Amino acid sequence: MVGIRAAIVRNQRVTGLSSTVLAELVAELGPLWHERHQARLVSRDRKRAVGAGARHKLVFVDRLLATLVHLRHGATHDVLACWFGVDRSTITRAIGEVRPLLAERGCTIAPGMRLRTLADVVSHLGESGRTAILDATEIRVRRPAQGTDGRDRFISGKSKQNAVKTMVLTDAAGRLLFCGETRPGSCPDITQARESGLIDLLDTGPWVEILADAGYQGLGAQTGGQVVTPPHRKFRKNPPPWYEEMHAQAKHAHSSRRIRVEHGIAHLKNWKALARHHGRREQLPETVQAVAALVSHQQNATRPLTHAA
């Protein structure tokens, strides 16, 4: 067990996190996990005193590492159980306990500073004067069982496959600010943004600039120009050559500014749990938030905010 733990911590390719970040996670989440575990023990009727019975074979550090390997590489619970020398149900329970702790952390943008909601993001952007980039990405999921109500809602109009769509916000350097507000794959990007309450936050909050692609055209008028989308084409038929050149240059300039959000999404998709989700669909929002919290923590450790503007 000790050898497996050391090998996982030593090699960053296993978890995608440096040893420094792993140490910070253990120091932060360990006491919280222990507190919640004790609360569960005392909250139910007991036939034995708290502390009686067999001891944990899987300590918190191993539970955290098993969860990270599962999220990073999509390793099955059976494989992880063989690695750590425990039963499969122990791994399943461990992941179910650690994943919510990771999801609640939010996106780290500076030591001791985290963004957990869209309201936090808008407030941070208004105070810092930074530009954000908005996009959505699809995560393939299992097809709902035959006869399930709303079965077709998960079929994406883009990929024609069963998927769940999640909203992603990064800064101009591609650092994650927010990832969440999951919707079925058939939901348009602009509808997802509207249902998330982003328009109301921009209307009542400080003025910010958010770059978006053509899927969000229309939000600019609703937000007073705070959401910037690619320029509209004014000449539908037989455009003059000078206009074609000007329009192409404007589109290229906008695309060059918002390309960093694609890099941020790519960092998320490096975690196999988000490349294709094989678990329950109702667990995906929590998984998305957990991975986003881990990616942003590692980004902050390697690229501090002061150097990412």
Q: What is the pLDDT of residues 215-237, one digit of tens each?
A: 898 898 888 889 999 888 777 77
pLDDT in tens, 53-97: 667 778 899 999 999 999 999 999 999 999 888 999 999 999 999
Same domain, 64 and 163: no
Q: In the listed set 84, 103, 122, which residue is the last one of a domain according to the structure? A: 103
Identify the residue whose tokens are 């999640």. 166
Same domain, 35 and 143: no
Which ranges of the chain have pLDDT less than 70?
A: 1-2, 51, 53-54, 304-309
Strand pairing of 209-211 and 131-140? parallel
- Exposed (0-12), middle (13-18) or buried (19+): which is 149, by Cβ within 10 Å? exposed
How many domains does the chain divide into? 2
Domain that includes residue 21, residue range: 2-103
160 Rama sector, left if φ>0, alpha if ψ -120 to 50, beta otherwise = left
What is the value of pTM for the model shown?
A: 0.88
* 78, 88 Cβ separation under 8 angstroms: yes
Per-residue pLDDT, 201: 93
Same domain, 149 and 92: no
Ranges of H-type helices in the chain: 2-10, 12-15, 19-42, 60-73, 77-84, 88-103, 118-128, 189-195, 198-204, 219-222, 241-258, 260-269, 272-275, 284-302
Structure-token pair, residue 154: 């998960």
Same domain, 71 and 129: no
Per-residue pLDDT, 157: 83
Per-residue pLDDT, 8: 84
Average predicted confidence (pLDDT) for the chain: 89
Same domain, 179 and 134: yes
Same domain, 272 and 129: yes
Same domain, 30 and 147: no
Q: In the listed set 58, 85, 103, which residue is the last one of a domain according to the structure? A: 103
In sequence order, the 6+-apart residues with CB closer than 8 A to the CB of 288 are 139, 166, 179, 180, 182, 274
Structure-token pair, residue 5: 């733990």
Structure-token pair, residue 104: 């609640």
Same domain, 52 and 161: no
Per-residue pLDDT, 236: 72
Same domain, 263 and 302: yes
Per-residue pLDDT, 134: 95
Q: In the listed set 46, 71, 103, which residue is the last one of a domain according to the structure? A: 103
CATH number at residue 214: 3.30.420
Per-residue pLDDT, 309: 39
Same domain, 111 and 16: no
Same domain, 60 and 136: no
Per-residue pLDDT, 307: 42
Same domain, 119 and 193: yes
